[in-house]
Amino acid sequence: MPPVTIQEVARHAGVSAATVSNFFNWPDRLSTGMAERVRSAVDELGFVPNMPARQLRTSRSGMIGLSVINASNPFFAEMVVAVEHAATEKNLSVMVGSTHESPQQQRQYLRMFEQFRFDGIILTPFDDNLQQAHEIAARGTPVVLVDRTDDEGLLPSVGTDHEAGGYLAARHLIEQGCRRLWFVSGPRQVQQMVRRLRGYQKAVDEAGNVSLEVLEFPDLDVGFGREAGRQIADRDPQDRPDGVFGGNDLQAIGIVAELVDAGVDVPGEVAVIGYDDIVFAATTARPLTSIRQPSREIGAAAAEMLFERLLSPSTPAQQQLFQPELQVRASTRR
């Protein structure tokens, strides 16, 4: 059976072929009633638009590329949901790529997004190297950064003040009486880790009578959190940290689980704080204190920035920075 044509849809709906074209390419031009007539005809006939042809006519793909560090992390998953919701309202679709802390994977996704002529890209960079993003933007594809500010001021960005978040974490642990602090970090190439550690160190320096040890792991997940917990539990009680900051909530949840399994009192012996305030943080057996960054608000703001660039490419690059918030729960409350 040959594919249904746009002319057949137009006849079935009792409209012109141009109206059907507007339904797919410029839906804002149609009234609600007219759009519903075309939609019903499309559904009844099983019409599938020719995307390459549409792209040639409009110079638009109707697609947004979204590259995140780890889509399995609930923080990024929430951000993806927000971007998808905003894109749907603009009749756009989203393709998500997860780089898993790999610069090679990030380059591959960005190259693919540009080669398929995506309308725009939202990028959570793995490191400080923004050369490819700058080149893509210079060739005409708008790029919005998440969790990374462009020092050259060419690319708009939205994110959280991670240095302030690290500072909040250390100050809270110190106020709970902790004096031997640890920071359990992900890869140092991840700039969020660098900024969180910078703020954490600042609070330690201000306190004056607090020590700091940094433990680095290749990933930010529960498994490496458990490994950090084992290392803490295996130490002599006098040599253990009494306050631990996980690089994110997943690590912190793993740390708490391992310490509890080993019979270490959390928070009596070791207070543990995480970062992100994911949905699971408040529902674990030992509810986790966390530094909240508003994932959905960040995703929505990034999408809106991208839409603005699509409408007006010459708009100056804006920088939006959300402030983190301390959410105190049982894992640190003494």
Higher confidence at residue 295 or residue 102? Answer: 295
Whether 310 is covered by a domain: the verdict is: yes
Whether 334 is covered by a domain: the verdict is: no
Given a contact cutoff of 8 angstroms between Cβ atoms, the answer to whether 77 and 299 are in contact is: no
Residues 185 and 287 both lie in one domain? yes
CATH code, domain carrying 281: 3.40.50.2300
* Sequence letter at residue 7: Q
- CA separation for the pair 106, 76 (Å, rounded): 15
Residues 276 and 303 both lie in one domain? no
Residues 286 and 193 both lie in one domain? yes
pTM: 0.80
pLDDT of residue 56: 47
pLDDT mean over 33-59 = 75
Residues 185 and 226 both lie in one domain? yes
Higher confidence at residue 59 or residue 69? Answer: 69
Residues 300 and 176 both lie in one domain? no
Q: How many domains does the chain have?
A: 3
CA angle centred on 41, ends 35 and 46, rounded to 5°: 125
Confidence of residue 229 (pLDDT cuts 50, 70, 90): very high
Q: In terms of residues, how long is the chain?
A: 334
Range of the domain at 236: 162-294
Whether 41 is covered by a domain: the verdict is: yes
Residues 244 and 192 both lie in one domain? yes
HSE of 3 in the Cβ direction (CA atoms, 13 Å)? 6
Given a contact cutoff of 8 angstroms between Cβ atoms, the answer to whether 298 and 82 are in contact is: yes
Over residues 234-253, the pLDDT tens digits come to 999 999 999 999 999 999 99
Whether 329 is covered by a domain: the verdict is: no
Average pLDDT, the chain: 91
Residues 181 and 288 both lie in one domain? yes
Higher confidence at residue 115 or residue 146? Answer: 146
Residues 47 and 131 both lie in one domain? no
pLDDT mean over 124-129 = 86
pLDDT mean over 243-272 = 97
Residues 279 and 299 both lie in one domain? no
Over residues 67-90, the pLDDT tens digits come to 999 888 899 999 999 999 999 998
pLDDT mean over 293-302 = 96
